[in-house]
Amino acid sequence: MYTNFNVLPNGNLCIELTDEGKEEIEDLWSNHPEWNDYDILRELIEHQLCNGWSWLNPEDVGALTEAPILSDGASYDDDGAMEVYGKVWWYPNYMVDELSVVLHDDGKLIFELAL
């Protein structure tokens, strides 16, 4: 596992990079220079995305942003629309920060609680 997810007392989500994750992020930078920052982050949090967490599109929650958005409770309904029933977090500094660099250098990313 490359990351750990922890909900902080203030409700924000802390994504912490493991030692294995730090090695993996360096490998991803070297082996996949064509990947963008979101591709790298998705790869690093794949374990969580396969175990109850969801990467949401802004339109799934009516957001007017291109920020990365995560939820601990979402699924597709019978019509193929995303139904969000859990909490939602977003990364507000997405236009300033390179997510993978911050994660690598600081060892964590803080996503703010939105819903």
Domain ranges of the chain: 3-113
Give the pLDDT score at 65.
Answer: 86
Q: Tell me the CA distances in angstroms from 16 to 7, 20, 34, 66, one per residue in order.
A: 11, 11, 24, 22
Give the pLDDT score at 108.
Answer: 97
Give the pLDDT score at 8.
Answer: 98
Q: Which residues of 60-73 are buried (b: 16+ CB within 10 A; e: fewer)?
A: bbebeeebbbbbbe
**Helix pair angle (37-44, 19-31), 10° resolution:** 140
Give the pLDDT score at 60.
Answer: 84
Backbone angles phi, psi at 33, to 5 degrees: -65, -20
Residues in the chain with pLDDT values less than 70: none
DSSP-derived secondary structure letter, 59: G
For residue range 78-92, list pLDDT tens digits in order: 888 888 899 999 999
Name which of 54, 39, 53, 46 is nearest 2 in CA terms.
46
